[in-house]
Amino acid sequence: MDTSVIIDHHIVDPTQLPDDSAISSITLAELAAGPHATVSDDERARRQDRLQWASTTWDALPFDVEASRAYGRVFAASRAAGRSSRTRLADLLIASVAMANELPLYTRNPSDLEGLEELVAVVTV
């Protein structure tokens, strides 16, 4: 599951999610940055709670050598689709982890993954 699914997990219909799921270490990195990206104390606390929940619920899949290799193909597919890779780096890294582990990628933002359909199964929730 990508970061958008984790952020909105409390409103996602659970029947749309797989029985067994995984997140990547990139998702944990995005969640770790989240509390620092707001000036609201309430929002900062909510984001910190989400990070703690995610980090204790899943053992994150690493961005490893296989994911690094997959990233080359993901990057190329994104460029071929005319998409900017700089603004979507985390999305592409998460897709690379999914591809390396031969897993579908559940997302709330399928437009972030346009052009990658031949490399990774993108499932919109």
pTM of the full predicted structure? 0.94
In a domain, 15, yes or no: no
Q: What angle do CA 89, 111, 120 make, to 5 degrees?
A: 70
In a domain, 34, yes or no: yes
Q: pLDDT band for position 83 (50/70/90)? A: confident
Model confidence pLDDT, tens digit, residues 28-71: 999 999 999 999 999 999 999 999 999 999 999 999 999 999 99
Q: Domain range holding 86?
A: 3-10+20-124
Strands of the chain, DSSP E = 105-107, 122-124
The number of domains in the chain is: 1
